[in-house]
Structure 1
Amino acid sequence: MNSEIFVFDTTLRDGTQGEGISLSADDKLKIARKLDTLGVHYIEGGNPGSNSKDIEFFKRVQDYNLNAKITAFGSTRRKNSIAEQDVNLQRLIDSGARAATLVGKSWDFHVHTALQTTLEENLAMIFDSFAYLKRQGMEAIYDAEHFFDGFKHNPEYALAALKKAEEAGADWIVLCDTNGGTLPHEIQEIVAKVKSELNTPVGIHTHNDCELAVANTLAAVHAGARQIQGTINGYGERCGNANLCSIIPNLQLKMNYNCISGEQLKQLTAVARYVSEIANAHMPVGQPYVGQAAFAHKGGIHVSAIMKDSKTYEHIEPERVGNKQRILVSELAGQSNIISKAAELGLDIDTSQEHTRAIIDKIKDLEHQGYQFEGADASLELLLRDAFGGAKEIFTLESFKMIVERNAGSMMSEAIVKINVDGQTVYTAAEGNGPVNALDNALRKALVQFYPGIMDIVLSDYKVRVIDEKDATAAKVRVLIESTDFHNTWSTVGVSGNIIDASWEALVDSIRYALLNTEKQEASDPVNRGHLGLVNH
């Protein structure tokens, strides 16, 4: 194994600067614990000098006894002042954090334009601030803001800024591509030059404005950087920060560096999806390594090949990063797709039977009608289990009614559902903030007496797609519902000329899938049965 790489996660600080990302103190604490299990070395929690939420985080996180170094973020002292009297520096010290990151100017253009001070005063600000933190016994990290732009414009001054931090005792010098406009070959050349000038270890902090943040980070490590800064899923301002979910496995599995342990690496996908849930930010299905489609195969020729050896179309074993291989079934599917998917589900299919061919034809016909199973794995699994006798009927619908009323300027939706569970008829009604929400509430209300843990399932995403736009309001619609129990996520689909009917179909599949899979878990693991509390009375 080559040199150790130190992982610095700034999801809780730089990541929250991304559009649509907002985390409460509780959210930050949850994510910090999850990051700690991943094995990152530093967790930057925020700026205790900027808001009460971050102050609360730093106060409460001290009770968690995390292995990672909790790091506070701030900036060098104000111009024409002294470090001992700088309020923001004092708040870093008072935060209780073991380490602090100070951002400081290294581009002369920013010194003159943003700080409106002299080059000499900026160097004094850097030196005084780091010397003060070191006298207080803190680990001190210099984030050299706009370093690469500064180096290309005035290399002598950019290096002088780094050397001032080193002279003051900074433990790390981190080179920042703050505007995200530097190319990988430039990163490698400049980092190599810096390494030859400094004795202090060097880190890298890149942004993704040219979609090169991951490549730039790898180039910096290749040139000698030993700390990588980034965020989970690449969250961050503008186009985002360097994505640790790609950087860590690339360094570890492709470049033979040691970032985290192999067992911790297996948690990468779970951590990525957990953070996306807490941040309420949808993950791209095609995100490398950790995305739902990262190891998904659709073409029949591809599937036929990976059934013989997965290396034919996979660059690593997905389990190494906690992901899994998925076989998509669609109108492009061949017999190999069905066989592989059935085998994954533990269904015994005789390939010589016409039944298998019939199922393929049925799937293709359903997709022709507007269904899309590649984005609805749970509905596909139910379809195959029904076809090959691997599923039981948990409940049946007898009827449902919808009442939508506008009253005094507000809308009210009420659903009345009549279902049959094991021969027992259940009749319930529930209100909701829309027809689908009312149906969801009514169905749960009917089933909760039989499966009490059903209330732990959350409908996390709801999408409607018009299939035949030319038919206007008479067009068919496809509804995709994503559900989660905060351990697993699954998607279901419904198609109809009526949006309520399509929604009901997808909703029923979602609940049915959760109940069937809970029963399977209980059968295979009776000691830990009732993971969701979905125990039939």
Structure 2
Amino acid sequence: MRLKILDSTLREGEQQLGVRFHSQDKIHLLHLLEEFQVDIVEVGHPGISAEDEQVCKEVATAARSVETLMHARAISEEVQAVSRAGADWIGVWASINPVSLTAKFGNKSPAQIKDRVAYAIEEAKKLGLQVRFTIEDASRTSWEDLFYLGKAAVEAGADRISLADTIGIWTPSECGEIVKRAVGEIHSDIEVHLHNDLGLATANALAAMDAGASVIDTSILGIGERTGIVDLLQLAVILKEKQGFQHFPLERIPELSHAVQWTTGFRPDHLRPIVGKNAFTHTSRYHVQAVQKEAHTYEMFPPELVGRKRKVIGERPPIASPVLSTALRVGSPFEKGASELKYHRNGPGNRWVLMDHRVDSRSTLYAIQRTFDDNEPENHVDRHTHDCDSVFVFWGDHADGTGLTCCVQMEKEEMVVHSPASIFIPAGIEHAYYYVSGKGTYTNIVLAPEYNQSLRS
């Protein structure tokens, strides 16, 4: 049986701190996932509220080719909610280890939980749903209890059993051992849902595959509760490079990454494999020399495979003042033309560098302020893109901040902006601005200490 990828960005992703997707954003992400050739998309938990049910229904209706799955506790009301929302699959879940029985099920017995699960599965099958049954907290559940509950679910009609490492404690050998035993003794397709609390989620996924698991749960960038789950983008590359999978369009990875970063506000660190800023950056003198002659000397695969570009930086940074000091430092802003920046010309008015690595070597941001005084209009900035967020602030010379007019461009939009105005520029969005008329100041804050190094080439 071919390995299937279930993506849970739209459900598990909403368990990440501060994340709640609008239905239209879920639909946009759903279509990106379809184009990326995942097999199943988990769209939400309609039983939470009427609002969630409506969102799930809209998303399921928008599906073009992928199968959809929705979460449900093992109770009739939530099974009915999944049916009304139009899912292809229902994901019923329960657990029977001692901590779950005490904390979540009011000290009910394993037999009572088993009966509840069987009833929910039978009801779902009558409604025409395919059923995945998840044993929550499987990694802290004895084999005897796993077998007891899993076998009961299969006998009630479950089409697949999922083993969830809910708190992320499995090692690859432990995960592989349990999955192999489940495949051999429960006699069902086995899915795994693996959390990343020890940083082992992807390694556990590979062990589960080797042990016979037929479905792996993922999310874009691995977003999810606490430290998240298996990263779809990393796993897709591993499957191509190590397992010969050819159907994922890996060049679409930046698009998927950017969409989730934009909708969630989550920014993966620079060292993140595949999508991190530094993933294809070479700075060591000897590495640079080798890469310029033969790129694969220090690259497993060309960055173009995953929609990225190689960055070679030949100069080492100078040793500056100590950065671990927390002592109060007062920097000195300095006047500097914008021609030091790529895509910029000096332009009208006077430009001051308020903060960057030159003002304080500890700085993690760049801030400039340009003053205008009834200058001639001039288009002095070309469109460009940063790999970090930035902000424009326009403030006129009147007491209420009015008095300055500029034009801002973002992607395909262009708008005349009258001060006072603040504009957030998300990472990855092409943008520019230019002065039109009036007096006042333009402030630009970029969340990187060196402007040119924050640019996407």
TM class by smaller structure: 0.7 to 0.9
SS across alignment from 1:143: strand
Q: Write the deviation string for residues 315-353 of structure 1: whole angstroms up to 9, x where unpaired.
A: 122222222222235435xxxxxxxxxxxxxxxxxxxxx
Distance of aligned partners of 1:192 and 1:417 in 2 relative to their CA distance in 1, 3 Å threshold: farther
Paired AA for residue 313 in structure 2: L
- The 5 Å alignment of 1:166-315 reads 166-256=154-244, 258=245, 261-262=247-248, 264-315=249-300
Measure, in 2, the Cα distance between the counterparts of 1:180 and 1:276: 24
Contact 1:460 1:483 in 2 (8 A): no
Distance 1:198 1:453, change over 3 A: same
Cα distance change of structure 1 residues 181 and 483 upon mapping to structure 2, 3 Å threshold: closer
* Separation in 1, partners of 2:72, 2:126: 17
- Residue of structure 2 equivalent to 1:23: 21
Of 22, 29, 32, the match for 2:30? 32
1:191 is paired with a residue whose SS is: helix
1: CA distance, partners of 2:379 / 2:262: 38
| Count of residue correspondences | 395
Per-residue deviation, 1:502: 7.9
Matched, 1:438 2:428: no
- 1:8 and 2:6 correspond: yes
Partner of 1:137, secondary structure, is: coil
How far apart are 1:196 and its partner, in Å?
0.9
User: In structure 2, how many angstroms separate the alpha carbons of the residues matched to 1:42 and 1:169?
Assistant: 20
Cα gap change, 1:392/1:217 in structure 2, threshold over 3 Å: closer, same or farther?
closer
**Residues 1:143 and 2:103 aligned together:** no
Structure 1 residues 214-263: Cα deviation after superposition (integer angstroms, max 9, x where no partner): 1111111111111111211111112222222222221232233x3x714x
TM superposition shift of 1:91:
0.7
Q: Which blocks of at least 5 consecutive residues in structure 1 are unaligned?
A: 78-85, 333-363, 371-380, 386-390, 402-412, 425-434, 462-481, 491-498, 518-537
How far has the Cα of 1:131 moved from its partner?
A: 1.7
Equivalent residue number for residue 94 of structure 2? 104
User: Match of 2:335?
Assistant: none
Shift of 1:113: 4.4
Please tell me the residue identity of whatever aligns with 2:25. Answer: D
Structure 2: how far apart are the matches of 1:99 and 1:208? 25
**Closer/same/farther in 2, CA of residues 442 and 157 from structure 1, 3 Å limit:** same
Q: How many angstroms does 1:104 deviate by?
A: 1.5
Cα offset, 1:21, TM superposition: 2.1
Q: CA deviation at 1:200?
A: 1.6
Matched letter for residue 117 of structure 2: I
Residues 399 and 307 of structure 1, relative CA distance in 2, 3 Å threshold: closer
Note if contact 1:108-1:157 (Cα within 8 Å) is conserved in structure 2: no
Equivalent residue number for residue 44 of structure 1 = 42
1:114 aligns with 2:114: no
**Paired residue for 1:66, among 44, 64, 67?**
64
User: Who is 2:332 aligned against?
Assistant: none
Superposed, 1:310-325 pairs within 5 Å as 310-325=295-310
**Residue 218 of structure 2 aligns to which amino acid in structure 1?**
G
CA deviation profile, 1:288-340 (whole Å, cap 9, x unmatched): 112222111111211111111111111122222222222235435xxxxxxxx
- 1:47 CA displacement: 0.9
Residues in 1 aligned to 2:116 and 2:55: alpha-carbon distance in whole angstroms: 28
TM-score, normalisation: structure 2: 0.75
Q: C-alpha distance in 2, partners of 1:319/1:443?
A: 46
Can you give the 5+ residue segments of structure 2 that lack an aligned partner in the other structure? 323-337, 353-368, 381-390, 433-440
Distance in 1, Cα, partners of 2:234 & 2:92? 26
* Partner residue, 1:396: 347
Measure the CA separation in 2 of the matches of 1:454 and 1:327. 33
Cα-to-partner distance string for 1:449-507 (whole Å, 9 max, x where unaligned): 9x99445999657xxxxxxxxxxxxxxxxxxxx7542xx599xxxxxxxx988859x99
Q: Distance in 2 between matches of 1:109 and 1:234?
A: 26
Whether contact under 8 Å (2:234, 2:273) holds in the other structure is yes
Mapped partners of 2:431, 2:350: distance in 1: 28
Structure 1-normalised TM-score?
0.65
Which of 94, 103, 106 aligns to 2:84? It is 94
Contact 2:280 2:303 in 1 (8 A): yes
Cα separation, 1, equivalents of 2:287 and 2:237: 24
Q: Is the 8 A contact 2:283 2:313 kept in 1?
A: yes
Does the aligned pair in 2 maintain the 1:399–1:418 contact within 8 Å? no
C-alpha contact 2:60 2:85 (8 A) present in aligned 1: no
- Read off the aligned partner of 2:29 and give its amino acid letter: I
Structure 2 Cα separation of the partners of residues 237 and 221 of structure 1: 23
Distance 1:201 1:136 in 2: 21
Instruction: Give me the whole-angstrom Cα distance separating, in 2, the residues matched to 1:317 and 1:28.
Output: 31
Equivalent in 123, 126, 143 of residue 132 of structure 1: 123
Alignment-mate amino acid for residue 393 of structure 2:
N
Give, in angstroms, the shift of residue 399 of structure 1: 3.9
Q: Secondary structure at the match of 2:164?
A: strand
Tell whether the 8 Å contact from 1:112 to 1:119 is kept in structure 2 after alignment: no
Q: Counterpart of 1:72 in 2: which secondary structure?
A: strand
CA RMSD, Structure 1 to Structure 2 (Å):
3.9
Q: Could you say if the C-alpha distance between residues 237 and 501 of structure 1 is closer, same or farther in structure 2, counting changes exceeding 3 Å?
A: closer
The separation in 2 between residues aligned to 1:103 and 1:272, in whole angstroms, is 29
**CA 1:489/1:211 → structure 2, altered by over 3 Å: closer, same or farther?**
farther
Query: Is 1:112–1:118's contact at 8 Å kept on the other side of the alignment?
Result: no
User: What letter matches 1:437 in structure 2?
Assistant: V
Distance change >3 Å, CA 226–CA 368, structure 1 → 2: same
Partners of 2:146 and 2:199 lie apart in 1 by: 25
Distance 1:246 1:483, change over 3 A: closer
CA contact (8 A) 2:282 2:313 kept: yes
Alignment of 1:336-347 (within 5 A): none
* Cα pair distance change 1:483/1:238, threshold 3 Å: closer
> Could you tell me which residue of structure 2 aligns to residue 156 of structure 1?
144
Corresponding letter in the other structure for 2:394 = A
Could you tell me whether the CA contact under 8 Å between 1:209 and 1:240 is conserved in 2? Answer: yes
Counterpart-to-counterpart distance in 2, 1:23 and 1:369 = 44
Shift of 1:138: 0.9
CA distance in 2, matches of 1:442, 1:297: 46
Residue 327 of structure 2 is matched in structure 1 by none
Check conservation: 2:136, 2:165, Cα contact below 8 A. Answer: yes
**Maintained 8 Å contact 2:394/2:404:** no
